[in-house]
Amino acid sequence: MKKTHKIICLLLLLAMSAVACCVPASALAFGDVDGDGRLLAADARMVLRASVNLVTLSEEQKKAADTDCDKAITAADARNILRLCVGLGNTDDSCMNGMDGATLVGISQKGYRIYVKNGMTYVDGLLIANKTYALPSSYNPGALLNECYDAFDKMQTDAWYGAGLYLYEISGFRSYETQQNLYDRYVATDGKAEADTYSARPGHSEHQTGLALDVNSLYESFADTAEGRWLAANAHKYGFIIRYPKGKTDQTGYIYEPWHIRYVGVEKATKIFNSGLCLEEYYGLTSVYAD
């Protein structure tokens, strides 16, 4: 009986080793180390074996297995994957940013982890809404979230007292239903293809997140006003980015909107601003409708 057990274990080890050598990188998602499209206890076992040098992982598999972002494959990673596969989340992963109960679903082109929780997608702790990633129709904070509102209030005050410029909100939070009505009107007027260049389909609008707003004007000429120039140069200091920058339509999926700002926090906004990249480029995300 013991001999049979040993043979089975050896065969299992050999099979797992073979998988480790043959899995195509394109098949891998975070936690799915064996590349079968599922997050299972088998992935945790594979990581555990790798942590004691019984299995050699490729570089892509190491990215999938390193759940705590410490650049080492350890038993802790196996434990994290096991927790995820049974729906317990991953409280030990610092990259989760408090996202206990979220599921790791993949890796971006820039190596950032992509999580889903309650039907919403997060990258680097940021709620993502673009043409690729949608929000549930039920998601409705009802207004700008406090951190966004407070940051804009401070920016508005500083612009006025520091530069004599008046920044004001012309469009803030919009519900799924409001966006549906707005988008339908644009489609009726300009056609679907044209509407998709400047208006989000319901569920794909950043306004629904409660973390985005339009400022002062809905015309590109706003960029050449004193307020527009000040906003472009200073928004990051308050945690905002110009969400759809000039020349980035291929990446964002939308025309240049110098008036549309998105709150991401001062640290992230500053990094994105200094990079000269749009959010999709910075995190390696796509923004393309499935149909």
Instruction: Please indicate whether residue 257 is annotated as part of the active site.
Output: yes
What's the distance, CA 74 to chain centroid?
26
Question: Residue 93's closest CA among 118, 121, 74?
Answer: 74
Distance CA 101, CA 11 (A): 34
pLDDT tens digit string along 134-181? 999 999 999 999 999 999 999 999 999 999 999 999 999 999 999 999
- The reported pLDDT for the residue numbered 87 is 58
Mean pLDDT across 32-60: 86
Highest averaged pLDDT of the listed ranges 25-29, 39-43, 67-71 = 39-43
Ranking 37-41, 184-188, 265-269, 275-279 by mean pLDDT, the lowest is 37-41
- pTM for the full predicted model: 0.72
Mean pLDDT across 69-93: 71
What domains, with CATH codes, occur in the chain?
2-96 (no CATH), 146-283 (3.30.1380.10)
Among 206, 257, 280, 281, the active-site one is: 257
pLDDT > 70: what percent of the chain?
84
Whether residue 107 has pLDDT greater than 80:
no
- At 115, which helix (H) or strand (E)? strand 113-117
pLDDT tens digit string along 183-195? 999 999 999 999 9
